[in-house]
Chains A and B, each alone.
Chain A
Amino acid sequence: MFERQKEPADRTVASDDKEYEHLAQRAALLLTNSFKVLIDDSIKKVLDHIFIDFAPLRNQLNQILNKQQEILDQILAKLAQLETQSTKNQTSQQQIVYSLQHIEKQLDQLIAESKLLENASRENHLLSQEHYQDHIVQPMVHSLFPIIDFINDAEDRSGEPATDRKIDTNELTGAIFTQLQQFLAVYQIEPIRHRPKAKFNPSLMRPVKTVTTENRQLDNRIAKSLRVGFWWRKERVLRFETVALYKFKDSKSETVN
């Protein structure tokens, strides 16, 4: 294969060897490269073959991978939604918890206030009961005692001979009337009683009878007070005074004695 060139005689065996060695190396290199090329080609062919044969599989694989990716994306999206929802729920729950805590506090406060009110009410009730007993019932009852005494005295003396009686009926009724007036005065209840010829006042009086008069000036004036009225604190009429009224030339009624 390799042609050996003629060389001068003075060249040494060593240089020949080197040249052979070099040639051998080159040959080896060539061989190696050739084999490499051959192998590469073969591999390439094999790979091409594989690539062609496995292309559908690869496509399927890609599709599967894509689908998996889609599913994965969907799952991730769902998870993200769930996470958001969960966060919202947590916030709502937290708000509900705060609200409940607030309500609980208010309820506690209400219960405390209610207890205070209940106690105050109980105290007030006791106080009002006491007040009612001390300032209303007791004075009322005390005011009635003298009236009962008068009546008892009168009853006791009724058994005695008439000449020995010290209290007559007029005196007794007068005394009872005075006592009753005093009793009512304690409660600021005053009698309404007007003298004859006083002006008729419908706010205080109720006429139940008319009396004819020929005196025009007496028209609509009181002929007689028939029954005493009462008013409270001079504001609220508890009972109107019942009166007979003069009516000018009223032929229907009678005259007052």
Chain B
Amino acid sequence: MIGGIDAGNFRLKMSCADSTGNPNLITNRLGEPFIRSVVYFAEDGSTIVGTEAENAALANPERAVFDWKQSMGTDTVLYQDGKNKICKAKDILAHLFREAKKTIEAKTGEVCEEVIVTDPANYNDLQKKETLDAASEAGLKVLLLLHEPTAAALGNEFHKRKNSRALVFDLGGGTFDVSIVQNKGNLCEVIATNGEQKLGGKDFNNCLSELIQEQFEAKHNYRPNPKDHPVFCQDLAQRVEQL
């Protein structure tokens, strides 16, 4: 079975084609249609990936890696344990790919060894190679490395239009990219791309939370803070994310 993986800095999404050829998002064991892009290195040497890693990271943030994507193709060390084990972005991506493979197989009941992976349109050759290496480490063969805006265009059947251009807005969890794609035969080609690496859905969430808290404060003359009202603040964050 061939899977599709979009590894974002905030969330990794997986899909597979159903019997009619339409792609379906795959949910994780919590019922979420994504894997949170967090890797946690437990004290016993094991690795936790996803929402549970995020939970663990809330207790011990120094053992977790959140933002990894911008470090692809660099020598930046994102995690180092006491035994001098070094983890770079490629290794984090390999952990995410492993979790994705496990999730796809658990959900579909089929072995998944081949995938189509998306990468940012501005990735250089080294970043692409590291993406392929990470997949290989996770036991996945990448059949096609597709630019994220191209995948978005194909997903909207843009390739069926002849000689057209489209502007693709990719507002992810942590980043925002804008690309212009153009049809060439049956394929789409990215002819220009740019983006803001520090603007994403989580910034919108923070703004909304702030707005709600301000309105609450204006009405009740009191502002709940995470120290005194941790459960309320967490609820607010979660509900804002679901909006």
A binding-site residues for B, Cβ under 8 Å: 200, 202-203, 205-210, 220, 226-227, 235-238, 240, 242, 244-245, 247, 253-254
Contact A227 to B59, CB < 8 A, known contacts A202-B53, A236-B29: no
Query: Which residues of the partner chain A approach B30 to less than 8 Å between Cβ atoms?
Result: 236-237
Contact A226 to B230, CB < 8 A, known contacts A236-B29, A237-B30: yes
The 8 closest A-B CB pairs, nearest first, are A202-B56, A208-B230, A202-B55, A209-B230, A202-B52, A208-B234, A207-B58, A206-B55
Q: Are B231 and A245 in contact (CB under 8 A)?
A: no
Which residues of B (55-97) have their CB < 8 Å from a CB of A?
A: 55-56, 58-60
Interface SS of A by simple majority: strand
Select which of B53, B59, B227, B233 is within 8 A of A200 by beta carbon.
Answer: B59
A205–B53 Cα distance when bound, in Å, is: 11
Chain A residue, CB-CB nearest to B48: A202
A207–B234 Cα distance when bound, in Å, is: 10
A29–B48 Cα distance when bound, in Å, is: 143
Q: Are A205 and B55 in contact (CB under 8 A)?
A: yes
Of A205, A206, A227, A244, most buried by chain B (CB within 10 Å of CB) is A206
B binding-site residues for A, Cβ under 8 Å: 29-31, 40, 48, 52-53, 55-56, 58-60, 226-227, 230-231, 233-234
Q: Are A227 and B231 in contact (CB under 8 A)?
A: yes
A209–B234 Cα distance when bound, in Å, is: 10
Q: Are A244 and B56 in contact (CB under 8 A)?
A: no
Chain A residue, CB-CB nearest to B56: A202
Q: Are B231 and A242 in contact (CB under 8 A)?
A: yes
A83–B31 Cα distance when bound, in Å, is: 70
A241–B48 Cα distance when bound, in Å, is: 18
Contact A207 to B55, CB < 8 A, known contacts A202-B48, A236-B30, A237-B30: yes
Q: Are B29 and A202 in contact (CB under 8 A)?
A: no
Query: Which residues of the partner chain A approach B56 to less than 8 Å between Cβ atoms?
Result: 200, 202
Chain B residue, CB-CB nearest to A226: B231
Q: Are B230 and A245 in contact (CB under 8 A)?
A: no
Contact A236 to B234, CB < 8 A, known contacts A202-B48, A220-B60: no
Query: Which residues of the partner chain B approach A245 to less than 8 Å between Cβ atoms?
Result: 59
A207–B230 Cα distance when bound, in Å, is: 9
13 A-B pairs with C-beta separation under 8 A: A200-B56, A202-B40, A202-B59, A203-B52, A205-B55, A208-B231, A208-B234, A210-B59, A237-B30, A240-B55, A242-B230, A247-B59, A253-B227
